[in-house]
Amino acid sequence: MPLVKRIIEPRYLCRGTLPDGVASELECVTNSTLAAVIKQLGGLSRHAEDIFGELFTEANSFYLRMNSLQERVDLLAVKVTQLDSTVEEVSLQDINMRKAFRSSTIQDQQVVSRSSILNPVLEMYQRCDKPPPLNILTPYRDDKKDGLKFYTDPSYFFSLWKEKMLQATENKRKEKRRQKVHLSVCLCLSVCLSVQEQKHVEESSGREVKKVRKARNRRQEWNLMAYDKELRPDARVTPSPYHTSDGSMSPDRWLPYWNRELPV
């Protein structure tokens, strides 16, 4: 149902009853029509003043918002031009120590309220009939509820919205709690299954003999690389008599075989 915001009265110019004892009816109708036209022009000028006043208020608020936004953009442009990514390095600790951005913009609240109601709507509201005085029956009620709220309740939609928001918050809380319980149960089951599997493997295989990898001896490897491929001793065969107990070559055994002293 559309709400008529502004009404120009009188709506009908020539309708009306003529008073008794009028000598010239045509002249009386003409004068009454002219008076109704003047009233319409007066109402139109008043509504025009209200419309231009609302436009001025909206334009002023828009100007203030654009002015504050322009100031923020100018400050940001100055900061951006001063930054140099090749010279200045921001550490992760400095980023974490900085405070989070917090907007200073004030959001509009209570847009539809008695203080923000428009003048034509307020005049229409004042011309309406008052509700019946059902509040005088409130002391006689057992539930102590206001009797007028059964006829008209301006806070009904707000209470309904509040109940829905509280119910949605409670549902989200229950869902998170259910997910936590489910996750904990799954973790407990997985731990129990892993423990049982480990016990089953240990019982079925008995004691498992673990093969320890032999430590690498760099010195021995480099000594082996000093030989030619034909003279390198095989690791699968018995160690060469030219090697010492630690795997290195003795100094006299580095000499060629023709320069060595023959045993007596």
| The pLDDT value given to residue 64 | 93
**Following CA atoms 210, 211, 212, 214 in sequence, which dihedral angle do they give, to the nearest 10 degrees?**
180
| The pLDDT value given to residue 70 | 94
| The pLDDT value given to residue 73 | 93
Q: Where are the domains of the chain?
A: 25-226
Q: Are 243 and 249 in contact (CB under 8 A)?
A: yes
In Å, what is the CA distance from 69 to each residue of 10, 65, 74, 204? 46, 6, 9, 75
Q: What is the mean pLDDT of each run of 10 residues along the chain (264 residues)?
A: 79 82 86 91 91 92 92 89 69 71 72 78 85 87 85 86 93 90 84 78 61 69 73 54 49 46 46
DSSP 232: P
Give the span between the Cα atoms of 46 and 41, in whole angstroms.
9
* Separation of CA 179 from chain center: 21
Residue 194, C-beta contacts closer than 8 angstroms, at least 6 positions apart: none
Q: What SS3 state is found at 249? A: strand
| The pLDDT value given to residue 158 | 85
| The pLDDT value given to residue 6 | 85
